[in-house]
Structures are given as C-alpha cells and as structure tokens.
C-alpha cells in the first residue's frame, strides 16, 4: 500500500495554496490524472514528481514532504541575512570507459544540500 502520510502531505500542500487538483498539476507540470491517482492511493509519487513540487514551491521542505520531518511551510530566509548552516558540498568526478578510451563526463546539474534539510539545484547551461 502507498505511504498514506506522503499523500496527506501532498494534499496539505494543495490545500495550503488553495489549489484544485487540476491547477496543482498544471503548476508542477504533470498530468492531472497522475495527481488524482496519487491522492487515491493508486500510484506512488516518483522522484521526478517530488522534485517538481519542491522546485515549484520553495516553501515545501524536501524532508518534510518525504518523511514528515521538518516544517511546512518552510520559513525562507531573508536574502540579506547570512546562512546559519553552511552548505555541505561533495564533488565527484567520474570517467566512462569506452573500448579502453576514457571519455570525460560533464556535469549537467549541481545540487547543494544544506544542514537544515533544504537544497538548491543548479542546471548547467549548454
């Protein structure tokens, strides 16, 4: 059975913004039927779905949405105030072998995770 708690939290987000299922689906860029199926417990939210919610609504804390820990709405900091928790950054380099030739793989996205459970995602321009 689908985790009823995450479904409740998705419904909380919809209710908080006063949205209909259709308008919520349109705003995060998913099919309206997929929201209906999620809320009825037929489907589980994919990682792509969760990321669309968090990217569209910055007040939604990723950890709160996934497991109920943290706050909603997430209090956003004033941009002028210093960050109380510096980001944790890990950089990984990887190479792909192709017939004994090494090809460098370019990063397409960088994600910075903060200790308060929030994160920022940066897409690389091509």
Provide the mean pLDDT of the chain. 77
More confident residue, 120 or 19: 19
Largest CA distance in the chain: 56
pLDDT of 60: 92
Domain residue spans of the chain: 4-67
Residue 82 confidence (pLDDT) = 43
Q: What is the pLDDT of residue 19?
A: 93
The set of long-range contacts for 14-21, using a CB threshold of 8 Å and a minimum separation of 24, is: 16/72, 16/73, 17/57
Residues 6+ apart with CB under 8 A from 72: 9, 12, 13, 16, 59, 60, 61, 64, 65
pTM for this prediction: 0.57
Q: Which CATH number fits domain 4-67: 1.10.260.40, 1.10.420.10, 3.90.1150.10, 3.40.50.970?
A: 1.10.260.40
* DSSP one-letter code for 50: H
Picking from 58, 72, 61, the residue whose alpha carbon sits closest to that of residue 16 is 72
């Amino acid at each position: 059975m689908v985790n009823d708690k995450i479904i409740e939290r998705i419904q909380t987000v919809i209710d908080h913004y006063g949205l209909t299922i259709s308008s919520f689906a349109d705003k995060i860029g998913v099919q309206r039927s997929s929201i209906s199926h999620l809320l009825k417990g037929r489907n589980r939210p994919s990682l792509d779905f969760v990321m669309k919610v968090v990217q569209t609504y910055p007040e939604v804390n990723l950890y709160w949405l996934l497991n109920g820990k943290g706050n909603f709405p997430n209090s956003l900091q004033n941009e002028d105030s210093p960050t109380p928790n510096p980001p944790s950054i890990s950089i990984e380099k990887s190479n792909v072998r192709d017939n004994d030739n090494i090809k460098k793989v370019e990063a397409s996205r960088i994600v910075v995770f903060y200790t308060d459970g929030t994160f920022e995602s940066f897409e690389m321009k091509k």
